[in-house]
Amino acid sequence: MSGITNLTACETASAIAAGKLSAVDVAKAYLAAIERLEPAICAYNEVFADRAMDQARQIDAAISRGESVGPLAGVPVALKDNICTDFGRTTCSSKILANFHSPYSACVAEKLLAAGAVILGKTNLDEFAMGSSTENSATRTTRNPWDTSRVPGGSSGGSAAAVSAGLAAAAMGSDTGGSIRQPAGLCGVVGLKPTYGRVSRYGLVAYGSSLDQIGPITRDAADCALLLRAIAGHDSRDSTSLPADVPDYLAELETPLKNLRIGLPKEFFGQALDSEIRSAIDKAVGTYKSLGATAVEVSLPHSRIDVGPGGQLSSYAVACYYIVATAEASSNLARYDGAHYGHRTAGPVKDIIDMYSKSRAEGFGDEVKRRIMLGTYVLSSGYYDAYYLKAMKVRRLIKNDFDEAFKSCDALICPTSPTTAFKLGEKTADPIQMYLADIYTISLNLAGLPGVSIPAGLSASGLPIGMQLVGPVLSEGTLLRAARMFEKTSGTCNLMAKMVQS
Amino acid sequence: MVEGDPDVKPIVGLEIHVELHTATKMFCRCPNRFGDPPNSNVCPVCLGMPGVLPVMNRKALELGIKVGLALNCSAGGFSKWDRKGYYYPDLPKNYQISQYDLPICRDGWIEVPLDDGAVKKVRIRRAHLEEDAGKNIHDHADHTGVDLNRAGVPLLEIVSEPDINSSHEAGAYARAMQRLVRWLGASQANMQMGHIRFEPNINLHIASAGKTYKTPIVEVKNLNSFKALEAAVAFEIGRQTEEWRADPEGFSLEKLSKQNRGWDDVRMATVFQREKEEAHDYRYFPEPDLAPVEVGETWLESIRSQVGELPLQRRERYIKEYGLAFKDADALTQDGPTGDLLDGAVKAGADPKRSVNLLLGRGAAIANERGCQIAEIGLAVEQLAELAKMLADQEINATAAAKVFDLMIAGRQNPRQIAMKQGLLAVTDAGQIEKWVDQAIADNPSAVQDVRQGGKKQKKAFGFLMGQVMQKSRGAAAARQVQDLLEKKLGGGQQ
Ligand SMILES: [Zn+2]
């Protein structure tokens, strides 16, 4: 049955719809793969085995009755554990929500269920999506299927590892500063952060509200198109969701773009970039040129990456992000106080403030506390103008740079992350090093733009290299077509880690 | 020290929180309703569950703007939402969605009628929208309960400039504001239900030896009645005067920080809560979950067209046009719909004073019994107009009209039909009336003698005979006709 888990979501969906595979067989195959590989990967916080089988049986029954089923009927999908479901737990990989049962389901969960997806389980993440390696999880350490001594990236590390290891046909991640694209890049799968507002945030546990977006993590660009179509669209419960129609991303996917103009932001190809990654991207640009594309150099001055005398990196975008995101986070996470739900200290308390303090001290991990403190600081009276207000101005400048760049190109190509998957524990001691893992992804969130990371090949040591395609607002269709052009030519789609193949 | 020392000038600004009368809450679809069992009007959004998002209630925004326009504010245009952060169990998100630097209404004024007939103009600094918090319930032995039915109810916070100079003015300002928001249908403004709450900022400017001393500012939190508001302001004027007398140089605005005090209803005194320096840093920042609000000209005009005539303008008109006494004009302009009934009846041809008598007679009595406004007793304009006309034409007398009034608001029928059916129409047939009059004269010779003799018994005896005639007619005889005829038969000129 291991062949089943090698199928893409599109292949699985059409096989089930055509009666060549049953949803039950598919669910069984994935549950068996989870049983076999999950102890080594640790992608899931919770697996809904019984529920998934029930759903699969219902779908088979509906098909046997000749009823029309949704476009994802029988496709096993995993959800990042910060997407609320009214079944199972929604923990955000935090002690403070360890036993939290959401009374409602996120818009995205509802849409996936309505499309017939079988929800396999909830995947691990950096606590409250704060991190780039999934090591900030309070529940477990997720490993990269390509090398289990390495991180899967983060914060959607569980979702990326699950898709990469064949433990889910597709998964949902959330991306605040790169949390879909970076782990997708490090795990050799496709990860798309949609335009801000393309997908409803209703039911996504908020981290940085003005940056957060839910998006798919999949085996290839076609799966990404299939899943995006299912989850995108306006939602009256999210005032920031865009009232724009959702195109059929699959319909034109296989049609190559003519005269594609690629922009190469010169600031992203400086000395900070690993040489293997640079040559992989150069090669990819060559592939595009061979398909009729042209490449131009563009500039994103406010997303510039500076290298200090000691080799340390710095970036306006990263600085701006860690003010905006943490400010919002400090407010969004204020509700976890032990009063209404979530972890409450068992210890004796003097008064309500003491109860709040102890509950939060026990419930949050170090990185979450660090960001809450940072965010609280930048919003404090007397500091607001110097930090938050200035960051908002930088944010505007970053966006203006992109608007300017898109006057001369249709999409940007740049690395997804400065390195391939790093070792577990390698960056945990130095938060700044960890923050810099998002150096190429973070500006898009500040600008609200869509970006997709696709595999551009493997490094000499056999680790996936991610490449990012970035487009203007609501250009997901173009980005996916461009991604499809490349993956079909290069054969880098539906890569499976060696451990899975063996 | 009592209020009124000419050298002591109280400087008072008032923040008024008004709960807006909408069907649903500010950012979710839960009912905005008082008095339901605890935590029955709640949903994931107003409970502040993980992952929820607010959606603005447009009706609340419109009501806020409507109040602002009635307060002569510049309203609408571009405004935005902000988060105000503080930890309290009745605030589920531990931040309140409010408006910080761009409120929906700015720079207005209100005319406040004072007891002595003067009118005081108080400037309005701003009015902004926000969500209300829930309520902590302290009636459990070992823990505190939290009721979140009120959490998320739309609030309008109206902030005045410090233009108020006495406790009476503070009370008059607050009453004018209550009347205005009721008038506009923006709030029920019911004190018992906590629809309207006051927070005065008070300090004194004291003239002494050619110098002006300013006392530190005190904010009294959460006052729930006009009485408490007036008493708290008066108490603070006294307390601050005494403190200043004890230490004129030390007790000063420059040297001491702002203080928050609460009101103790039993001791009738303000009580220290905290120095403002220890106060929260609310860490305001723009609410990322809500788009800024842009109220363009067309939208603003459609709201402006709903504002209409304001209570003081209408009261003035009633005195001028209808010749009403101040007291009656004032009583009829406590809310909008009651005056609308009067205006409707007059427009339909009824006499203003007879209409007013009906409204403030049986109308006010029934409204009082039911604890509602006169306009809410079920009276239609057509009914009021018809009954007032019947009275003017003597087709019905006052006693019968009162009966008809009660019947017509119950059944929504035409008053003339009711009067006919119930036999309450006045008898105007001269022959029939003469019969009753003659009979009364024949039956009561001693009363007749008293009237004819004149003197101190005359008036009472005449009234007695009138009553006899009315009794014989079972209250149906047209009173004026009876009186005229009796006067004629008994010699005329008495009375
Ligand atoms: Zn609600």
Residue range B343-359, pLDDT digits in tens = 999 999 999 999 999 99
Q: What is the pLDDT of residue A76?
A: 98
Alpha-carbon distances of A377 from A145, A385, B386, rounded to whole Å? 39, 12, 70
Burial group, residue B299, by CB count within 10 angstroms (0-12, 13-18, 19+): middle
Catalytic-labelled residue, pool A80, A193, A358, A427: A80
Q: What is the pLDDT of residue B424?
A: 83
Q: Which residue has the tokens 């046909």?
A: A169
Catalytic-labelled residue, pool A105, A133, A156, A179: A179
Confidence check: pLDDT of B475 > 80: no
Residue of B nearest to A325 (CA): B288
Q: What is the pLDDT of residues B308-322, one digit of tens each?
A: 899 888 999 999 999
Instruction: Compute the CA torsion angle A272, A275, A280, A286 (nearest 10 deg).
Output: 90
- One-letter amino acid at A354 equals D
SS3 A434: helix
SS3 A354: helix
Residues 366-385, chain B, touching A (beta carbon < 8 A): none
Q: Which residues of chain A carry a pLDDT beneath 70?
A: 1-2, 497-502
What gap in Å lies between CA A78 and CA A58, rounded to an integer?
Answer: 19
Question: In angstroms, what separates the C-alpha of B98 from chain A's closest C-alpha?
Answer: 14
Does residue A80 have an active-site annotation? yes
Q: Return the residue in A242, A323, A331, A380 with the most chain B beta carbons within 10 A, the one to mutate for interface testing.
A: A331
Q: Do A104 and B281 touch (CB under 8 A)?
A: no
SS3 A500: helix
Give the tokens for residue A223. 């799966």
Burial group, residue A322, by CB count within 10 angstroms (0-12, 13-18, 19+): buried
Q: What is the pLDDT of residues B69-110, one digit of tens each?
A: 999 999 989 999 999 999 999 999 999 999 999 999 999 999
Residue of A nearest to B86 (CA): A334
Residues A133 and A428 sit within 8 Å (Cβ to Cβ) = yes
The alpha carbon of residue A94 and the mean position of all alpha carbons in its chain are separated, in whole angstroms, by 18
Averaged pLDDT score across all residues of chain B: 92
Mode of pairing for the β-strands spanning A451-458 and A464-470: antiparallel
What gap in Å lies between CA A34 and CA A45, rounded to an integer?
Answer: 12
> Which distant-in-sequence residues (6+ apart) come within 8 Å of A208 by Cβ?
A176, A177, A324, A325, A326, A328, A329, A332, A445, B288
Alpha-carbon distances of A407 from A106, A447, A469, B95, B311, rounded to whole Å? 37, 16, 16, 41, 58
Q: Return the residue in B52, B80, B137 with the most chain A beta carbons within 10 A, the one to mutate for interface testing.
A: B52
Q: Do B50 and A106 touch (CB under 8 A)?
A: no
Sheet holding A451-458, edge to edge: A44-47, A118-123, A76-80, A170-175, A213-218, A190-193, A451-458, A464-470, A411-415, A261-265, A294-298
Element (H, E) at A431: helix A431-435
For chain B, the domains span 8-295, 311-422, 430-489
φ, ψ (nearest 5 deg) of residue A125: -155, 165
Q: Do A334 and B146 touch (CB under 8 A)?
A: no
Give the closest residue to B134 by CA, choosing from B224, B272, B42, B7: B42
What gap in Å lies between CA B482 and CA B381, rounded to an integer?
Answer: 31
The alpha carbon of residue A392 and the mean position of all alpha carbons in its chain are separated, in whole angstroms, by 24
Alpha-carbon distances of B347 from A12, A110, B394, B401, B409, rounded to whole Å? 76, 58, 20, 21, 20
pLDDT, mean of residues B461-482: 86
Give the closest residue to A452 by CA, choosing from A189, A109, A149, A115: A189
User: Which of A82, A239, A376 comes nearest B283 by C-beta?
Assistant: A376
SS3 A226: helix
User: Which of A90, A239, A330 comes nearest B53 by C-beta?
Assistant: A239
- One-letter amino acid at B9 equals K
Give the tokens for residue B159. 């902030």
> Which distant-in-sequence residues (6+ apart) come within 8 Å of A361 by Cβ?
A369
> What are the helix (H) ranges across A238-389?
275-290, 316-332, 352-363, 366-379
Q: What is the pLDDT of residue A192?
A: 98
What gap in Å lies between CA A360 and CA A137, rounded to an integer?
Answer: 16
Residue of A nearest to B89 (CA): A339
**pLDDT range class, residue B262, cuts 50, 70, 90:** very high
Give the tokens for residue B460. 């009472």
Angle, helix A316-332 to helix A366-379, in steps of 10 degrees: 100
ipTM (interface predicted TM) = 0.96
Residues in chain A within 8 Å Cβ distance of B146? 339-340
What gap in Å lies between CA B433 and CA B439, rounded to an integer?
Answer: 10
Q: What is the pLDDT of residue B387?
A: 95
Does residue A14 have an active-site annotation? no
Q: What is the pLDDT of residues B112-151, one digit of tens each?
A: 989 887 889 999 999 999 999 999 998 888 888 999 999 9
DSSP state of A249: T
What gap in Å lies between CA A336 and CA B143, rounded to an integer?
Answer: 19
What gap in Å lies between CA B184 and CA B18, rounded to an integer?
Answer: 13
Q: Do B49 and A103 touch (CB under 8 A)?
A: yes
What gap in Å lies between CA A77 and CA A227, rounded to an integer?
Answer: 10
- Per 3-state DSSP, chain B is made up of helix, strand and coil in percentages (nearest 5) of 40, 20, 40
Q: Return the residue in B94, B97, B136 with the most chain A beta carbons within 10 A, the one to mutate for interface testing.
A: B94
Angle, helix B336-347 to helix B311-321, in steps of 10 degrees: 30
DSSP state of B477: B
Q: What is the pLDDT of residue B20?
A: 98
For residue B155, the cross-strand partners are: B19, B130
Angle at B378 between CA B180 and CA B317, to 5 degrees: 40
Q: What is the pLDDT of residue A305?
A: 87
User: Which of B51, B283, B291 comes nearest A240 by C-beta?
Assistant: B291
Give the tokens for residue A463. 């680790």
Residues in chain B within 8 Å Cβ distance of A238? 53
Residues A41 and A145 sit within 8 Å (Cβ to Cβ) = yes
Burial group, residue B446, by CB count within 10 angstroms (0-12, 13-18, 19+): exposed
What gap in Å lies between CA B356 and CA B87, rounded to an integer?
Answer: 53
Give the tokens for residue B138. 């302290």
What gap in Å lies between CA A434 and CA A424, rounded to an integer?
Answer: 12
User: Which of A92, A334, A384 comes nearest B85 by C-beta?
Assistant: A334
Q: What is the pLDDT of residue B2?
A: 64
- Whether the CB of B288 is below 8 Å from some CB of chain A: the reply is yes
Q: What is the pLDDT of residue B495?
A: 43
The alpha carbon of residue B334 and the mean position of all alpha carbons in its chain are separated, in whole angstroms, by 5
Residue of B nearest to A205 (CA): B51
Q: Do A90 and B50 touch (CB under 8 A)?
A: yes
B138: how many CB neighbours lie within 10 A of its CB?
8
A301: how many CB neighbours lie within 10 A of its CB?
14
The percentage of residues in chain B with a pLDDT greater than 70, rounded to a whole number, is 98
φ, ψ (nearest 5 deg) of residue A263: -105, 135
- Whether the CB of B84 is below 8 Å from some CB of chain A: the reply is no
Confidence check: pLDDT of B493 > 60: no
User: Which of A102, A202, A330 comes nearest B53 by C-beta?
Assistant: A202
Q: What is the pLDDT of residue A500?
A: 63
Sheet holding B82-85, edge to edge: B95-98, B82-85, B285-286
What gap in Å lies between CA A57 and CA A426, rounded to an integer?
Answer: 44
> Which distant-in-sequence residues (6+ apart) come within 8 Å of A427 by Cβ?
A132, A133, A433, A434, A437
Give the tokens for residue A300. 């994103």
Angle at B263 between CA B259 and CA B269, to 5 degrees: 95
Mode of pairing for the β-strands spanning B82-85 and B119-131: unpaired
Q: What is the pLDDT of residue B455?
A: 83
Higher-confidence residue of B275 and B437: namely B437
Question: In angstroms, what separates the C-alpha of B163 from chain A's closest C-alpha?
Answer: 28
> Which distant-in-sequence residues (6+ apart) come within 8 Å of A442 by Cβ?
A177, A178, A315, A317, A318, A321
pTM above 0.80, yes or no: yes
Element (H, E) at B121: strand B119-131
Q: What is the pLDDT of residue A151?
A: 98
Alpha-carbon distances of A86 from A103, A317, A468, B57, rounded to whole Å? 5, 36, 34, 26
Residues B135 and B90 sit within 8 Å (Cβ to Cβ) = yes
Q: What is the pLDDT of residue B175?
A: 95
- E-assigned strands of A33-124? 44-47, 76-80, 118-123
Q: What is the pLDDT of residue A307?
A: 83
Q: Do A384 and B288 touch (CB under 8 A)?
A: no
Element (H, E) at A15: helix A9-17
Q: What is the pLDDT of residues B379-405, one digit of tens each?
A: 999 999 999 999 988 888 888 899 999
Domain B430-489 in this protein, CATH class: mainly alpha
Mode of pairing for the β-strands spanning A213-218 and A170-175: antiparallel
Question: In angstroms, what separates the C-alpha of B88 from chain A's closest C-alpha?
Answer: 9
Higher-confidence residue of B287 and B492: namely B287
Is cis: bond before A155, omega within 30 of 0? yes
Q: Do A102 and B95 touch (CB under 8 A)?
A: no
Instruction: Compute the CA torsion angle B174, B176, B180, B183 (nearest 10 deg).
Output: 120
Q: Residue A463 C-alpha to ligand 1 middle, in angstroms?
A: 48
What gap in Å lies between CA B367 and CA B374, rounded to an integer?
Answer: 5
Residues in chain B within 8 Å Cβ distance of A92? 50
Q: Do B53 and A339 touch (CB under 8 A)?
A: no
Q: Return the residue in B285, B290, B294 with the most chain A beta carbons within 10 A, the one to mutate for interface testing.
A: B285
